[in-house]
Amino acid sequence: MQNKYAFFNNRIVPIEEATVSIMTHALNYGTGAFGGLRGYWNADKEELFVFRPQQHFERVLYSAKMLMIDLPYSVSDLVNILLTLLQKEGYQQDCYIRPLVYKSQPLIGVRLNDVEGTFSMFSVPFGRYVDAEEGAKVAVSSWRRISDNSIPARGKFTGAYINSAFIKTEALLNGYDEALVLDQSGHISEGSAENVFIFRNGKAITPPVNSDILEGITRRTIIHLIREELGLEVEERPIDRTEFYVCDEAFFCGTGVQIAAITEVDRRPVGDGKMGPLVSELRDLYFNIVRGNNDKYINWLQPVYATTPEPIA
Ligand code: PMP
């Protein structure tokens, strides 16, 4: 099953009609920002659940703010557009949703001020993002993460993903599944498109939000689950490369990757080289929650078919 529609120019249109000019500012200069959400199909409940859309749209809006794009939508307007789009698609399978805000004006001139922007959204059926979710082999990249004083990693900017693409390409061409990236100070920031955690001596550690990371929605979710459900401490502090060599367990998290165990770093085994008990427990917890099988966290999910959206103005 393929996607058929997009939200474009303030209405739902057939996907073939959602096209832009070659002169579009964002296409020329990378002046866009995007989001990435997942919808999980629960066959027993005959429902499609979108994970934490409010948080995702808040991030889309603050990325837009950094690009000086003032959208005429609130977070609840964006949820309403999302519901309208997904109901029209009618998926009965997992999907991925891509909101996109971008400088749409056909204009030559590198700047952010006084350039018009717009918002669009589409979705696609989706499965795994990283094949090796149960045991990713990674290397520390020879590329550095973009920094807040060049291209802020806090914004999910389209142009910034050239950095992620260099990182991921190098990893794949060298036979790895993913990479860890150092920030300008030489500490681990994150993966090419996912946040990272280690477990060491019964405590979880993850880089802080000022280590040039994207402020991940999954990261925030996992911090909560480790504290509240696993009953362990979470430290947000810079992580050295060699801490990955001596930690007990490590994992990536993100909307795309979900939770993926990291079992090898720089050809060295992490822990005993297999997915460990804490990552395994977190994965079970996470997958139950996102698919709508854990009532305690059901309010983190937006049901698609049980909700009647407002007409789009
Ligand atoms: N870091 C980067 C660079 C990413 O692209 C992503 C994916 N959006 C993440 C982290 C994870 O963020 P989230 O959990 O909000 O999907």
Q: What is the pLDDT of residues 187-218, one digit of tens each?
A: 999 999 999 999 999 999 999 999 999 999 99
CB neighbourhood size of 240 (10 A): 12
Q: What is the pLDDT of residue 132?
A: 85
> What distance in angstroms lies between residue 234's CA and the mean position of ligand 1's atoms?
19
Interatomic CA distance for residues 147 and 208, integer angstroms:
14
> What distance in angstroms lies between residue 313's CA and the mean position of ligand 1's atoms?
31
CB distance 261 to 135 below 8 Å: yes
Burial classification of residue 152, based on how many CB atoms lie within 10 Å of its CB (0-12 exposed, 13-18 middle, 19 or more buried): middle
Q: What is the pLDDT of residue 226?
A: 98
Quick one: DSSP state of residue 157? Answer: B
Predicted structure pTM score = 0.97
CB distance 197 to 189 below 8 Å: no
Residue 219 near ligand 1, beta carbon < 6 Å = yes
In the predicted model, residues of the chain with pLDDT beneath 50 are none
Six token digits for residue 148: 């807040």
Q: What is the dihedral of CA 291, 297, 299, 304, to 10 degrees?
A: 0
CB distance 57 to 78 below 8 Å: yes
Q: What is the pLDDT of residue 66?
A: 98
First to last CA, the chain: 29
Interatomic CA distance for residues 57 and 12, integer angstroms:
18
Residue 214 near ligand 1, beta carbon < 6 Å = yes
Quick one: DSSP state of residue 72? Answer: S
Task: List residues bridging with 12 in a β-sheet.
Answer: 7
Domains of the chain: 5-127 (3.30.470.10), 136-275 (3.20.10.10)
Q: What is the pLDDT of residue 129?
A: 80
Interatomic CA distance for residues 5 and 123, integer angstroms:
8
Q: What is the pLDDT of residue 1?
A: 67
Q: What is the pLDDT of residue 242?
A: 97
